[in-house]
Structure 1
Amino acid sequence: MKILLINPKDSGYYYRLGAFFPPLGLAYISSSLKNAGYETRLIDMNVENFDYKKESYEEYDVIGISTDTVRFPLAAKIGKDARKKGTIVIMGGPHATFNAHSILKEGLADYIILGEGEIAFVELVKAISVGEMYPEIPGIAYLKENVVKIFPVKFVKNLDVLPFPDREGLPLHKYRTKFAGNYAMSIITSRGCPFDCNFCSVTQFMGKMWRQRSVESTVEELKILVEKFGYKSVVFFDDNFTLNPGRVIRLSDEIIKNDLKIKWWAFSRADELLRNEDMVEAMAKSGCKMLFIGFESANEEVLEEFNKKLHSNIAFEVSSLLRKYKIDIFASFILGALNETTESIKRTVKFAKKLGASIVQFSILTPYPGTKLFEQLKTRLLTKNYEKFDGTHLVFKHPHFSPEKLRREFLKAYYAVYTTPRLIFKRGFPFLWKLLANSR
């Protein structure tokens, strides 16, 4: 069997700014399929021309499409077109996982992969190859006799059993995102998150149980990125890279022992950093140059609404700690909480300006399917145009803001932060112009 795996083009905010990386989820599925003896082709529409309307799909037995919410309108068109041409379509990713019923009922896919898909996808393809169209496999859903059948996912407990993602199947030279002066490559070393913030779907998609790859497995993949592909910068895309400080210290030590000489950044939480200065020191020695931290707001009532389980004053403490070890901060804030006001937004913007972060990101609160926030607000949605669910548009009826008013506050926040002397010197007017021009 031959399988085509498609990553629809991302029309969202970060892609328009030029910050995007290979679709590692599909790359993991591709390598798992290859290990099982199947032939795959990976298409990332962010960097490759692929006209789904002109594609006949005749040479493929199965098409797999990965989609989050912003990319779903295009994923739906591809799925519908491929099915019309007689090809079996399997759809996965966060949006497909949380909208399996509607996707199957609307005829946009034959099967849905729920959550992480390496094992379920392979088992499903095996069943299809022998003519079993309604297999009872954990982590899939399908429509049978007009009834949606769902078989709950079983998360992979030992991530080391999974093969490394199929980067060879992607045009790596077309990914041009830089970090610390070098082209950067992404890697994932853990899955799941125990914190369950109400605006985030990670807990539902990957589970509350945080699962980690071994240090040995991670170092082996890093060696491939450095020695085979020539990367000098790496981004750890774990949702919470620093949850196990001991593991981070061991990994940092191994990066140094193996003379990898990489510069890297990762996602973290402020409280984990403050409790573990020895971890911060080890990360800095091994090449950590930046950490992405979701501070979200300067207002305690907003943090409580988000179920963030943090206090705002921790931000300045962690900023001081990271400056000590020359690690920059990528600070993220969310505007538009249900109890947000114009004054509370001003406090957050003032807070962000004082923090001293190298990069500041603002997003508009967005109820993504699969989140607690979506369940709370699904009857108040202003649009079902999922291309607007990119973190730069208000998509629900807000008690204090119209979409236009919150949009103005969002743009003013960026302007206020990036016209400070420190960031104008560091990032320059071209960065601000690009940021605002692409926030349409």
Structure 2
Amino acid sequence: MKILLVNPYSGGYYYRLGAVYPPLGLMYISSSLKQKGHKVELIDMNVEKLLWKTFNFREYDVIGISTDTVRFPIAKEIAKRAKSQGVTVIIGGPHATAFHKEILREEICDYVILGEGEKTLPSLLEVLKARERNIFLPGVAYLKDGEVIAHSPSFIENLDEISFPDRSKVNLYRTKFAGRKATSLITSRGCPFNCEFCSASQFMGRKIRWRSIENVIEELELLKRMGYGSVIFFDDNFTINPKRVMRLCETMIERNLGFKWWAFSRADELLEKEDMVEAMAKAGCKMLFIGFESASNEVLEEYGKDMKSEIAFEVVKILKKYKIDIFASFVIGALRETKETIEKTIKFAKKLKASIVQFSILTPYPGTALFEKLKRKILEKDWRRYDGTHLVFKHPSFSQKELRKLFIKAYYSVYTSPRLIFRRGIPFLFRLIFHKEAYSL
């Protein structure tokens, strides 16, 4: 079969930073489909144009679209256009998984893939090729006689079984890190934590599944041969298993890979783990993304972070000792939040002296515990505004305008400090806050 996979335009935080990474999820699926003999084309709208209003989707047997919440409006329009031309349309991704019933009842697409798609989508295509009407596949949802039929997804236990992502179009990406050509990969899936505002544990499961060290090293060696000098590990939580991290780092050093890299971590996982931090630094780690979230312990408790804000300075001290930069993330607008706690968080962020600071407004994404708590208080029906820069629910203490002002103040306070204004510049600040919402619906 001839398949078109589409990654709708994002315009999110990393895009604004100039860090556009390939869509690993669709690239994994592309590899899985090609293994089964399908002809696959992948279009990433972050780096390629897709004039979907006039595009001839009839050239393909199936259109597959991946979407999170903020990209759903454009994903929906692409799906409707393709479906109007008589093409089978399949949607997947976090938003589609959370809202599959509504999406199917609106007849936006023919099928929704729930959760991971590397095994589910090829199996579904085999069933469609055989013209089976009744589908009994884990992770597939569809509409039959007006009723939504949904089979619970099953997670892939052995990640080594999955082919490496299809990198046939990676030359379209120009992202650099530490002055080197950069790309992304993952070494694990799942997250055991249950932060109220995060959908990672719902979409990928709370049980962590790891690739073997040998399998990860094999992909890193492939990336090195392709000319990459930097990577980002996109695991939801890279440092949760210190022994594994150290084994990976030791093997990277033994193989003389020489990558500069960054990853996602939690502050409490770095405390009393200086041996791990040292190993990471020796293996080329130059930055860690850490969700400090708030200076208020009461707010951290509300978020379900299960840690105290005071540990941040000790963690930063350890990282700076080994010359690892900090990408610090904060979320403002908790239900218990006051103007005073937000001001405290802004001062806290400045004191940390991180290389990059990200502020987000608390957003109830579909599929999260927060969404279930607040779904009757949702003010905003436009999914494009679920980008972490807008208040989308009725807050007990702030109006949308008030919280937006505090959000802008947070960025302005941090990035106009002498330390960062010369390093990042005013244009960088404006790009973060006032990015253009480039959706053409």
**Counterpart among 349, 354, 359 of residue 357 in structure 1:** 354
Residue 238 of structure 1 corresponds to which residue in structure 2?
235
Name the counterpart of 1:258.
255
Q: Distance in 2 between matches of 1:53 and 1:297?
A: 43
Q: Secondary structure at the match of 2:291?
A: strand
Letter of the 1:183 counterpart: K
1:32 aligns with: 32
Q: Distance between the aligned counterparts of 1:163 and 1:181, measured in 2?
A: 29
CA distance in 2, matches of 1:30, 1:7: 12
C-alpha deviation, 1:433, in angstroms: 3.2
Answer whether contact 2:270 2:277 (CA < 8 A) is retained. yes
What residue in structure 1 maps to residue 148 of structure 2? 148
**Does the CA contact (< 8 Å) of 1:232 and 1:262 recur in 2?**
yes
The answer to whether 1:21 aligns with 2:24 is no
Displacement of 1:17: 3.9
- Give the secondary structure class of the aligned counterpart of 1:344: helix
- 1:419 corresponds to: 416
Deviations 1:330-373 (A, max 9, x none): 00000100111111000000000001211110000000000000
The answer as to whether partners of 1:236 and 1:266 remain within 8 angstroms in 2 is yes
What does residue 85 of structure 2 align with? Answer: 85
Shift of 1:132: 1.4
Amino acid at match of 2:40: T
Partners of 1:13 and 1:439 within 8 A in 2: no
Amino acid at match of 2:370: L
Partner of 1:136: 136
TM-score (norm 1): 0.97
Q: Which residue number in structure 1 is paired with residue 370 of structure 2?
A: 373
Aligned to 1:214: 212
Instruction: Quote the residue 1:203 is aligned against.
Output: 201
Deviations 1:33-73 (A, max 9, x none): 11111111101111111111212222211110000001000
Task: State the alpha-carbon separation in 2 of the partners of residues 17 and 313 from structure 1.
Answer: 28
1:138 deviates by 0.3
**Residue of structure 2 equivalent to 1:386:** 383
Asked whether the 8 Å contact 1:13–1:391 carries over to 2, the reply is no
Question: Quick check: 2:181–2:227 contact (8 Å CA) kept in 1?
Answer: no
**What is the rounded CA distance, in whole Å, between the counterparts of 2:234 and 2:270 in structure 1?**
17
Instruction: State the distance in 2 between where 1:275 and 1:125 align.
Output: 49
Matched, 1:71 2:71: yes
1:184 is matched with 182
Partner residue, 1:281: 278
Give 1:152 shift: 0.4
TM-score (norm 2): 0.97
Distance 1:316 1:439, change over 3 A: farther
Q: Which amino acid counterpart does residue 84 of structure 2 have in structure 1?
A: K
Structure 2: segments with no counterpart, 5+ residues: none
The alpha carbon displacement at 1:275 in A equals 3.2
Moved more, 88-97 or 13-22: 13-22
* Paired residue secondary structure (1:427): coil
Conserved 8 A contact 2:2-2:39: yes
Query: Deviation string for 1:352-406 (max 9, x for gaps)?
Result: 0001211110000000000000000111111110000000000000011111110
- The residue correspondences of 1:208-357 to structure 2 (distance < 5 A) are 208-227=206-225, 229-357=226-354
> How far apart, CA to CA, are the structure 2 residues paired with 1:432 and 1:191?
33
* Amino acid aligned to 2:138: P
Deviation string 1:231-273 (CA, Å, 9 cap, x unpaired) is 1010000000111111111111111111111100000011111
Counterparts of 1:267 and 1:186, CA distance in 2: 12
SS of aligned partner of 1:167: coil
SS at match of 1:58: helix
**Corresponding position of 1:54:** 54
Do 1:252 and 1:286's aligned partners in 2 also have CA atoms closer than 8 Å? yes
Query: 1:435 corresponds to which residue?
Result: 432
Q: Indicate the residue corresponding to 2:99 in structure 1.
A: 99
Kept in 2: contact 1:280–1:322 (CA 8 A): yes
The alpha-carbon distance between structure 1 residues 276 and 133, as it changes in their structure 2 partners (threshold 3 A), is: farther
Within 5 Å, give how 1:101-120 maps onto structure 2. Answer: 101-120=101-120
- Corresponding residue of 1:163: 163
Separation in 2 of the partners of 1:63 and 1:436? Answer: 34
Measure the CA separation in 1 of the matches of 2:406 and 2:19: 24
* Structure 1 residue 322: Cα displacement: 0.4
Contact 1:13/1:438, CA 8 A, preserved across alignment: no
Deviates most, 135-144 or 430-439: 430-439
Deviations 1:88-113 (A, max 9, x none): 01100000000000000001110000
Task: Please report how far the alpha carbon of residue 173 of structure 1 lies from its aligned counterpart in structure 2 after TM superposition.
Answer: 2.6
State the distance in 2 between where 1:130 and 1:378 align.
Answer: 41
Instruction: Give the 3 Å change call, closer, same or farther, for CA 133–60 of structure 1 in structure 2.
Output: farther
Q: Distance in 2 between matches of 1:326 and 1:98?
A: 40
Letter in 1 for 2:56: S
Rounded Cα–Cα distance in structure 2 between residues aligned with 1:12 and 1:265: 19
After the TM superposition, which of the residue ranges 172-181 and 101-110 deviates more from structure 2?
A: 172-181
Unaligned runs of 5+ in 1: none
Decide whether the 8 Å contact of 2:293 with 2:330 is kept in 1.
yes
| One-letter amino acid of the structure 2 residue matched with residue 367 of structure 1 | P
